[in-house]
Chains A and B, each alone.
Chain A
């Protein structure tokens, strides 16, 4: 969509008037590794949610915390902070 905008469509100073709009941008395809949660090990402590530097981890209805893979860039901080080793970083190509 952005590649159809002309200079006349640009906001003054490139301001983005919609809050939280960064999450609309697909950055999931920047990843080389993705976080996989093992619910057997997860103790629902929420540390991954707190430590995620870019709000890519979201609480689910059943109390777990899972990465939004549309947005998550795969930095791996959640995996390294998890106190029970419930998150593992897996190569994108591996299924």
Chain B
């Protein structure tokens, strides 16, 4: 609930409000200001505050939307697809097991090109049962054809949720968008968030004009089967559209910045100038890592930090440009791809394979299932990362903060 709000120049030169919000409520506020038509969600820790807050807004008459309570996440996403099919602006949120349960329908959403927006409050996967944060749920939907971004803080939770509607609904995109928020470290943490004027939001986000809305006066078929003679072509068309969405993603971040004063990029670079060593993180832990980078830079170390904000479509060009000139890239993963290692590590190393010269890429895994990553843990990641880069890995899996 917004508290202690006061008028503030949000950087865009407009009058906006600076309020204390947890990231969950910031995401809910963005969905409300986007004037969503349909919300369908099933509560699950640590996502619960988002549907709760939206239900409250609808019940109090602050938001005019159809709120569909459902019996499972599978139904939540199915209801979203039906709503999107008639051209409704549609929102949902989930986490961990909920994302797993709706998995089948999540894949259908992108294949049918419905621009549903979903907040995923990143949570470790069972078993053992854990409600705490890591990126296992996100990595299990890497290949699912949704545009995906990772938030570092509560402001991004608001901004990227708002932007998600605009980019997904663009007639040249028509793809669903997943906004990842770290469970608890973002969802339940209160920070100052700048909320724009409704008029600015309306200028940024026009009404959704879905060109293929189901209508009894003009019948058509959504979800027809694809026999072998067209399935492959359908998938290639989807992949081309997905890759082409990147230019529009960039353009709409530019437009977002022009209106709201905050500019976003697919790969955030922090003190990377002349850096020989680069640390790569995703999500909220990036902000902890920044403190460590600051301290090391102060001591004269040529070290920088990069964070992948855009995870899908993978920002190849921006990523390759960001690592150019570095000697060592240390990738921190909050997930194990069993039998393979860190998924982010595998992907970025693959993205650099054809580059010449390229940095030595090493991977370290930690922060699983709510295990905290303090500054000294990132110190260890950097120190150990340098050692592995110079001597080669000694273990099957390089980890941080895991006993034994």
Query: Which residue numbers of A lie inside 8 Å of B, CB to CB?
Result: 2-3, 5-10, 12-22
Residues on B with C-beta less than 8 A from A10 are 230, 233-234, 237
Contact of A7 among B112, B220, B226, B237 (CB under 8 A): B237
Are A8 and B221 CB-contacts (below 8 A) given A2-B229, A13-B113? no
Q: Using Cβ atoms and an 8 Å threshold, which residues of chain A touch B230?
A: 2-3, 5, 10, 14
Chain A CB count within 10 A is highest, among B111, B221, B223, B234, for B221
Supply 24 A–B pairs (Cβ within 8 Å), ascending by A. A2-B229, A3-B229, A5-B230, A5-B233, A7-B236, A7-B237, A7-B240, A8-B237, A9-B233, A10-B233, A10-B234, A10-B237, A13-B111, A13-B212, A13-B222, A14-B111, A14-B226, A15-B222, A16-B221, A16-B224, A17-B220, A18-B220, A19-B219, A20-B219
Beyond A12-B174, A17-B220, A19-B219: 19 further Cβ-contacts under 8 Å? A2-B230, A3-B229, A3-B230, A5-B233, A7-B236, A7-B240, A10-B230, A12-B212, A12-B241, A13-B113, A13-B114, A14-B111, A14-B223, A15-B212, A15-B221, A15-B222, A18-B220, A20-B219, A22-B221
B contact face: mostly helix, strand, loop, or mixed: loop
Which of A3, A13, A20 neighbours the largest number of chain B CB atoms within 10 Å of its CB?
A13
Docked CA distance A52–B317 (Å): 55
Of all chain A residues, which has the CB nearest B228? A3
**Does any Cβ of A come within 8 Å of B128's Cβ?**
no
> Which residues between 193 and 248 of chain B lie within 8 Å of chain A, taking CB atoms?
211-212, 219-224, 226-227, 229-230, 233-234, 236-237, 240-241
Residues of B within 8 A of A22 (CB): 221, 224
Residues of chain A lying within 8 A (CB to CB) of residue B237: 7-8, 10
In the complex, what residue of chain B is closest to A18 when comparing beta carbons? B220
CA distance A84 to B212 in the complex (A): 45
Q: A-contacting residues of B (Cβ < 8 Å)?
A: 111-114, 174, 211-212, 219-224, 226-227, 229-230, 233-234, 236-237, 240-241
Q: Which residues of A contact B241 (CB under 8 A)?
A: 12
* Contact across chains for B234 and A14 when beta carbons are under 8 A apart: yes
Of all chain A residues, the one with the shortest Cβ separation from B218 is A19
In the complex with contacts A18-B220, A19-B221, A21-B221, A13-B229 CB distance below 8 A: no
Question: Closest CB of chain A to B172's CB: distance in Å?
Answer: 10
Measured between C-beta atoms, what is the minimum distance from B10 to chain A in Å? 36
B219→A14 contact, CB < 8 A: no
A93 to chain B, nearest CB (A): 25
Q: Is the CB of A15 within 8 A of B229?
A: no
Q: What are the residues of chain A within 8 A of B233 when measuring CB–CB?
A: 5-7, 9-10
CB closest chain-A residue, reference B227: A2
**Most central of A7, A10, A14, A21 by chain B CB within 10 Å:** A14
| Chain B residue at minimum C-beta to C-beta distance from A16 | B221
**Shortest distance between the CB of A72 and any CB in chain B (Å):** 18
The 10 closest A-B pairs by CB, nearest first: A13-B113, A19-B219, A16-B221, A7-B236, A10-B237, A3-B229, A7-B233, A13-B112, A7-B237, A2-B229
Residues in A with CB closer than 8 Å to B227 are: 2
List of A residues within 8 angstroms of B212 by Cβ: 12-13, 15, 17
Give the interface centre of B114, B212, B233, B240 by most chain A CB atoms within 10 Å. Answer: B233
